[in-house]
Amino acid sequence: MSFEKELEQGRFYIPECLACKKLVWPPSEFCDNCNEETSLKKEEFEGKIIEFSRQNEEYFCVVEFGDSIRIMAKMIALPKKDQIVKISKCGISEGSYFFQVI
Amino acid sequence: MVKVGIVAYGTTPFTKDDHKIETILHKSTKDLFQKNPKIDKKEIDAVLISTNNNSKYLSPILSEMVGIQPKIAHSIESLCNSGTNSIVSAFSYIASGLADMVLVSGAERYDSPGQILEWDNSRGEFKHPIFWASIFSKSYKEKYGISDEELAIVSVKNHKQASKNPNALSKKTYTVEDVMNSKKLTDDLKLLDCSRPCTGSASILLASEEIMKKYTDSPIWITGIGQKTTSAGFTKNTSLSSMESTKIAGQSALNMANRNISEIDVAEVHDAFSVCEPMILESIGFTEPGNGMNMIKNLHQTNNFKINPRGGLIGCGHPLGATGISQTIEIIEQLQNNAAGRQTDNPKTGLIHNMSAAATSSTVLVLEK
């Protein structure tokens, strides 16, 4: 499972169970439902803004993908609740993931 | 099941001091034994350490420092609710018959590594607790039409109550304006809405009913325990305006104690940030969803110390591994009518709520005379 290798390249792919097809989050080599192996679902996911706040000039949002996967992401423009967004930037910095949406 | 009670306790003041973890563990344990000189250390079967500190082998170290040779010796870590989780483990050892008397000692330094859950990469670059607290605040305020000024009353109340607690980190009282004018951390969080990490230790000695009779005429019993972990990651919380793990743990504890929430006379709840207190009160069932701030305002206006009499985490400071034990000591003192200027009106039943990592895990205890 190469989630982090893809993330380092700026690509956000969510692992999917090869057996039960569940999207698995946090990213894992094994399904948290049936314990079978996962592989990355290589598509561009759309997310929805669930909640947000702001620190200085940057917004930070809870973004939901696929009805169950939630991450916290940065947003430059003023977000709106239920707004549909896409990952515009992502990666790993000093061991921590980072995500930005537009 | 063997009845389990609390024989003795000790604590240190909560400060910003730079002490070794071993030193502060020793201090609260020394306080416990000095207050209870008749305790026979040979009867202590287990020593459990509650901390997020990275030092190793702390239970055998503390045991050696205070002259105990226990059968069972280990540490317990569960971020901010390590303290009550350790008490639950001690209870279980005694209830099962594996031990008759267990020392639980919790401690943390101001620079604890437990303040940030590095694993939780779903939070992206927003791993510091102020970010989940901001999201909870925004969500709660919007859902129930609560203002920042109203939420600030939590901090005002708990600092006021902490000013009566000689061991609290905060010695100051504040107004709503002070909270509103404190440093803005995010659009939804001010500095005085936050509990502060600090250095401190608290220790407690649990025992079976038979041992209790030898040492105390005013026993306090642990009659209810509830625990629930819904996830480790903040973003797995299904609600951002209530606490699912707290609801379940609270109900389990009350069921075990065969008590209703209306029978709880005094409670310590985990106000890591202002918004947590109304969310917890609602989730445990002290009041209806959305009515937590009305309850808090009423308590503050009537100078009723029922909730967080020691000043909560906001007033006392939050030395993670010691917090749950310190909360428990406060409820013991309240039930024994030993809480001096913080004393509530002859309480008979008390509750402790201690949680971790944005309420992904909660522990609730019920204590009775």
Residue from B319, B311, B316, B349 nearest B331 by CA: B349
Q: Can you list the positions of beta strands (E) in B181-263?
A: 184-186, 189-190, 200-208, 220-229
CATH code that applies to domain A45-102: 2.40.50
* C-alpha dihedral, B269 to B273 to B277 to B279, nearest 10°: -120
Q: Do B121 and A55 touch (CB under 8 A)?
A: no
Sorted by where each begins, the domain ranges of chain A are: 1-43, 45-102
Which tokens is B29 given?
């344990």
**Percent of chain B scoring above 70 in pLDDT:** 100
Q: Average of pLDDT values for A48-59?
A: 97
Is residue B76 assigned to a domain? yes
- The mean per-residue pLDDT over the stretch B300-320 comes to 98
Assess if residue B129 is contained within a domain.
no
Nearest CA in chain B to A25: B122
CB-CB neighbors (< 8 A) of A55 in chain B: 131, 134, 185-187
Residues from chain B contacting residue A50 (CB–CB below 8 Å): 240
Distance CA B98, CA B172 (A): 45
End-to-end C-alpha distance for chain B, whole angstroms: 18
- Burial of B289 per CB tally in 10 Å (0-12, 13-18, 19+): middle
What are the structure tokens assigned to B41, written together? 């250390």
> Exposed/middle/buried for A82, CB within 10 Å: 0-12, 13-18, 19+?
exposed
pLDDT of residue A1: 53
Task: Decide if A3 touches B, using CB distance below 8 A.
Answer: no
pLDDT of residue B330: 98
Percent of chain A whose predicted confidence (pLDDT) is above 70: 99
Nearest CA in chain B to A70: B235
Residue A26 to residue B121, Cβ atoms within 8 A: yes
List of chain B residues whose C-beta atoms are within 8 Å of the C-beta of residue A73:
124
Distance from C-alpha of A15 to C-alpha of A25, rounded to nearest angstrom: 7
Phi, psi of B56 (to 5 degrees): -100, 160
The DSSP symbol for B183 reads -
Quick: pLDDT tens for B159-194: 999 999 999 999 899 999 999 999 999 999 999 999
Q: What gap in Å lies between CA B277 and CA A98, rounded to an integer?
A: 30
Q: Take residue B311 and report the two structure tokens written for it.
A: 């000043």
B63 assigned to some structural domain: yes
Q: Please report the pLDDT score of residue A77 as a whole number.
A: 96
pLDDT of residue B91 exceeding 70: yes
CA distances from A16 to A26, A37, B75, B112 (A): 11, 9, 37, 36
Number of structural domains (chain B) is 1
Chain A residues close to B139, C-beta within 8 Å: 51
Task: State whether residue B241 is helix, strand or coil.
Answer: coil
Per the structure, the complete domain to which residue B99 belongs is given by 4-111+197-215
- Domain contains B368: no
pLDDT digits (tens, 9 = 90+) for B205-264: 999 999 999 999 889 999 999 999 999 999 999 999 999 999 999 999 999 999 999 999
Compare all CA atoms of chain B with the CA of A100 and give the residue at the minimum distance: B124
- State residue B217's pLDDT score: 87
Whether residue B330 lies inside any domain: the answer is no
* Contact criterion met (CB < 8 Å) for B125 and A25: no
Query: How many CB pairs (< 8 A) connect A and B?
Result: 68
Is B246 inside a domain boundary? no
The predicted structure's pLDDT at residue B1: 83
With 0.95 as the threshold, say if the pTM is over it.
Answer: yes
- Which CATH number is B8's domain given? 3.40.47.10
> DSSP state, A27?
-
Torsion of CA A33, A34, A36, A37, to 10 degrees: -10
Q: Does residue B41 sit within a domain?
A: yes
Q: Which residues, numbered 113 to 152 in chain B, qualify as contacts with chain A under a Cβ-Cβ cut-off of 8 Å?
A: 118, 121-127, 131, 134-135, 137-139
